[in-house]
Structure formats: structure tokens, C-alpha cells
Structure 1
Amino acid sequence: MSRRKYFTPAEVSEHNTAADLWVSFLGKVYDLTPLVTQHEGEALLLPIMEFAGRDISSWFNAETGHVLRHVDLQTNCSQCYTPRGRFVHVPPGGPRSDWAANVGRPWWTDGGYQVGLLSAEPRWIRVINTLTSQEQRLQVCSEETVAEILQRYLRYNSHAHSYTWKHKGMALDMSKTLYENNVFTSDTELQRLQLHCDQFPPAILLHFSDDLTDG
């Protein structure tokens, strides 16, 4: 299974321990596990540990991508704004003899930690195998193509490539997203009945179309 490009917030939230720690911010997903290992036992890890598996966009300036700054009322100097506590690679508010000024590239600008992008609009679908009548409910990313969604579904059916994927009788273009295939999250009937689209997600029907291959 190929590595995914997009992740849902729910997937990020699964990585919430010191041994497996992800965060998201400004639309990106970062695996900070190596950072945690490198700074194990340091107090500056505490804010990051507190927000393991969560979105920390509020810590950063969306335009610059750097930590928010403010003017300290006592010193009248500009410094990083960290209301949850100073964290790794954030300099102290004033001169300190116990902190090295040259920490290298701060982790929030280091693309080496980035594992993917955060979906701006996660959505639910139902994948129904018409050959076996098995149904699987999946949360997917709206930015993914149907081919990428198929990669997600392989854990439930390793022969998914041997099926034609259809919606409302029309074969889906696997190189396009669900929206580009006119698979929408709601319709007028759901709106009329005042039913939430997540409770009745659109159905994708899998029709057997080829010999099963070794999975």
C-alpha cells in the first residue's frame, strides 16, 4: 500500500503518545516522534506532549509559518507568544546563559518532519461490494482521487483493483476526486428530510470486473 498524501484529523489523533507523536498545523501533518526522542525528559516537550495528535495552528502565524510573536509589556521587546508554555526550539524571552542561541532549523520549518497534508474537508462514504454484499464505511479526504481512496480500502479487500467502482450507475474516473465524479456529501432529499449527511453518506458500489489476482 502506497503512503498517503492526505490525512484526516481522526487519523492524526491516533498518533498521541511519546513513542508515536503527530501534530497538524497550517494544513500540514508532522511526525514529531524523532524530536521527542531527541529531547526526551526536557521540560520544553511538555506543551507538545499535551497537544499530541491535535492541531496546533493557533501557535503559528499563518502568513509567515513561524511562532506567533507579541510585545512583552515589561521589557517592551518582541518575543514568541507561547501561552501553553515555551516549547522546543523557541528561544527564551530574554538573555539566558543556559540556552544555546544557535539551535539550527526549528522543527516547524523542517520539512523532514512532515508526513503529509491535513484534509480541509474529511467526508464519509460507504463502499459496498455487490459480489459479497459486504459494506464498509470509510472516512476519506475530499482532496483524494478515487484511486487513492482505493488504497485505503485495500485493508478490507485486497482484490479491490478487480472491481469497477460506480456511483448511481456511472463508473467513476479513478484519477479524479469524488466531487469531480459528482459524488456529493448530501442531496436535496436529505435536506428535505433534515437528515445529516454524515449519517447517510453516499454509496460507492463495487462491481466485479476481472479475474481475482493474488493479494
Structure 2
Amino acid sequence: MRQPKYFTPNEVSFHNTLNDLWVSYLGKVYDLTPLVNKFKGDVLLKPIIECAGKDISHWFDPKTKDILTHIDPLSGCVKYYTPRGRFVHVPPPCPRTDWANDFGRPWWRDRQYEVGLLTVKTRWIRIINTLTSQEQRLEVCSEETLDDILQRYLRYNSHASSYTWKHNCVKLDMRKTLEENGILDEDEDFYTMSMDRDLFCPSICLYFNDDLTEL
């Protein structure tokens, strides 16, 4: 399995420990584990650790891509707005000689931590293996192609590429998304009509081809 380009909020939430710490913000997903290891034991990690596995977009200005700022009522100076407390790479409120400011780019602007994109919308689908009658329910990203979804499904069937994928008896284009293949997202309609979307989860049927492909 190759690493997906898009991640669901649920996938990000699994990475919530000191040894595996991810966050998302402004539509992207970041692995801050190296940052945590570098500053291990530093009290300035606390706000980041508290938000492990969560989205922290509310920390940032969408236009500048920088931490939100405010006017300090005492000094009248522009300062970073950090309600959870000051964190790594945020300068102290007053000048100090013991603060190292030679770290270069702050972590929130450093692309080395970026691992992928956060999906705008997740979708649930059912994948039914017509050969074995096995059924698997998957949460996928709306931006993903069927090839990407196949990669997610490999953990349940390592020979998934040896099947023809169909919806309503129509062969699917594996290079296109669910929406582009005519599998519409009707969640909003279900919500409007007070219908349980879990009862109307679209299904994709897999039909076995000639021979298995080892992956």
C-alpha cells in the first residue's frame, strides 16, 4: 500500500501520542513527531501535545498562513494570539536573552513536516466482493479516485486489482472519483429529508477476473 495523498480527520486522530503525533491545519496534514522529539521535555510542547490528532486551523490566519495575532493591551504591540499558551517557535512576550531565535523557519511554515492533504469531505461506501460475498464498509475521501480507494481496500483483499469494479452494473473508471463515476454524494439530501445515510450507503461490486495479481 502506498501512502494516501488525502487523509480523513479520523485517520489523523489515530496519531495522537508523543511517539506519533499528527495535526492538521489549513487543509494539510503534518507529522510533528520529529518536532516533539527535538524539543522533548520542553514545556512549550504542551499546547501541541494537547491537540495531537486534531485540527488546529483556528490557530492560524487563513490569509497570511501565520499564527493569529492581536494587539497586546499593555504594550500596544502586535503579538501572537495563543489562548492555550505559548508554544515552540513563538517568541516570548518580552525581550529575553535566553531565547534562541536562530531556528530559521518556524515549524508551521516548514514543509518537511507535511505528509498530505486533509479531505474536504469524507464519504462512506460499501465494497462487495461478489466472488466471496465479503462486504467491507470504507470511509474514503471525496477527492480520491477509484485507484486510490483500491489502495485503501488492499488491506482487506490483497488481490483487489484482479477484480472489475462496478456500480449499478456499470464498469467504473478507476482514474476518476466517485462523483465523476456518477456515484453522487447525497448526504445533504438525506439530512434534509431526515433519512439515515448509513442505510443508503452506495455500494461497489467487485467481479473476479481471470487470474490473481500478487501485490
**TM-score class normalised by the smaller sequence:** over 0.9
The 5-angstrom pairing of residues 70-89 of structure 1 reads 70-89=70-89
Matched, 1:23 2:23: yes
User: Counterpart of 1:107?
Assistant: 107
Gaps of at least 5 residues in structure 1 are none
Equivalent pairs counted in the alignment come to 215
SS at match of 2:179: coil
SS at match of 1:62: coil
Q: Deviations over 1:129-161 (max 9, x none)?
A: 011000000000000000000000000000000
In structure 2, C-alpha distance between the alignment counterparts of 1:160 and 1:3, rounded to whole Å: 17
SS at match of 1:124: strand
The 5-angstrom pairing of residues 20-99 of structure 1 reads 20-99=20-99
The 5-angstrom pairing of residues 1-215 of structure 1 reads 1-186=1-186, 194-215=194-215
SS at match of 2:180: coil
Q: Which amino acid aligns with 2:63?
A: E
CA RMSD of aligned residues (A): 1.7
In structure 2, C-alpha distance between the alignment counterparts of 1:31 and 1:158, rounded to whole Å: 27
In structure 2, C-alpha distance between the alignment counterparts of 1:59 and 1:87, rounded to whole Å: 11
Q: Is the 8 A contact 1:44 1:86 kept in 2?
A: yes
Post-superposition shift, 1:185? Answer: 2.9
SS at match of 1:211: coil
Q: Is the 8 A contact 1:164 1:171 kept in 2?
A: yes
Range moving further from structure 2, 204-213 or 12-21: 204-213
- Which runs of structure 1 show a deviation greater than 2 angstroms over 4 or more consecutive aligned residues? 185-194
Post-superposition shift, 1:98? Answer: 1.6
In structure 1, C-alpha distance between the alignment counterparts of 2:99 and 2:126, rounded to whole Å: 53
Post-superposition shift, 1:96? Answer: 1.2
Post-superposition shift, 1:49? Answer: 0.3
TM-score (structure 2 length as normaliser) = 0.95
Q: Is the 8 A contact 1:163 1:208 kept in 2?
A: yes
Q: Which amino acid aligns with 1:128?
A: I
SS at match of 1:180: helix
Cα distance change on mapping 1:185 and 1:199 into 2, 3 Å: farther
Q: Is the 8 A contact 1:186 1:202 kept in 2?
A: no
Aligned identity (percent) is 61
